[in-house]
């Protein structure tokens, strides 16, 4: 699914991977997912491309942090809407106004 400035089908696998890599026995909160996305070379490139596309379309440009946060919010929205292949791969919990994630344990 294409958002205005990025393709969610392209960003979701990177976000899911970032959550898995940053999981340490507890939920990974939104803020940490955003930071990890910006630290990931592929994630950082996707965020930068989205920022450039936004500037091209609107002459505005969000910070990389705001764009990465928006990508994670869309990831969460698609799970809420039951429109994500990652819905069954993660448990989630509300944390400080956003969603925090951890991989589901295999049974």
- On whether the pTM is more than 0.95, the answer is no
Instruction: Tell me the per-residue pLDDT of 10-33, one tens digit each, with 9 for 90 and over.
Output: 999 999 999 999 999 999 999 999
* Tokens standing for residue 26: 């507890």
Query: How many Cβ atoms are within 10 Å of 10's Cβ, its own excluded?
Result: 15
Beta strand extents in the chain (DSSP E only): 90-95, 98-103
Q: What is the pLDDT of residues 45-87, one digit of tens each?
A: 999 999 999 988 887 889 999 999 999 999 999 999 999 999 9
Residue 21: CA count within 13 A, CB half-sphere: 15
């Amino acid at each position: 699914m294409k958002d205005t400035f990025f393709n969610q089908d392209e960003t979701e696998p990177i976000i899911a991977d970032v959550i898995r890599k940053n999981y340490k026995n507890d939920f990974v909160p939104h803020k940490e997912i955003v930071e990890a996305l910006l630290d990931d070379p592929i994630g950082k490139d996707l965020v930068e491309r989205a920022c450039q596309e936004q500037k091209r379309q609107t002459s505005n440009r969000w910070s990389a942090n705001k764009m990465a946060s928006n990508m994670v919010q869309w990831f969460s929205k698609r799970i809420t809407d039951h429109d994500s292949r990652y819905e069954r791969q993660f448990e989630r919990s509300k944390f400080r106004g956003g969603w925090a994630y951890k991989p589901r344990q295999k049974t």
